[in-house]
Structure 1
């Protein structure tokens, strides 16, 4: 199933201090308190702190803009300034943000750590790529990507209904892998 970013309504962050677009959630129609995994794209236009998500493992990657510095639990800093490079952190961490220069958009993967493990990967090699069975979502971050259900453009996502994708020259995808825990 192809998901167009324009079809995902803007909604407030859990703490109400920013906005996001939920791209996909599992199980379908799960809420903020009962998802196994969730993918969203956040609009970060101020130095607002991130929402707290106890029990959730998070991964984030810069999509657009010059990025920001995250200060986690008042002592560990990470600069999220290189596009498409995932950074993992605990959802219960206290995260303060300092924008580098203007607003940004970032890709977010959240996984309930008691139920699953998740991984966010960046792929940018042109050509055909086989998808492992644990890949639950492909996000086109730049360029175009062909799938068995149609073409993705920057901002689009795909819940795989096939076994491969083809990246055009210059395309970048973020791939979400999920492994359920027994």
Structure 2
């Protein structure tokens, strides 16, 4: 079947209305015959106005979209919970958490269509990139703060080591280790 333009569809609908109004006089052509005739282009005079058709009378109120569509794998609409809002705010402020790593800033409003999930490690990641049970956190905020705390603890331990080297305590530790090796 050939593609129909909006004008042709309006003409077919208008004729169907007229046929329904006459209550089937019997001599009117069928819809398929009208469609076949309407696929041929028909010139319209420049000065005529279009009649009001059924298509223009009906107001189509489209319901809000529940998914992003098949091009986006039907990604569902974002469920704006308090946890999601907090995590979105943390993601937006990730430059504050780690100022040495520059990341692209995110928009202020959360996306209209998104999904939150949990990454499950596969069997091949057992030793290489798996998090131990102690390292796993319940929220994104706890995870971000723990990584920040780890950096702070390692830096402070490094500073303490540098300050302690060359002092009396460092020399006594050195002597006690030497005694342990001899005896």
- What TM-score, normalized to structure 1? 0.18
- What TM-score, normalized to structure 2? 0.18
Higher relative contact order (CA 8 A, sep 6+): 1
Q: Larger strand proportion, structure 1 or 2?
A: 1
Q: Larger helix proportion, structure 1 or 2?
A: 2
Tell me which structure has the larger Cα radius of gyration.
Answer: 2
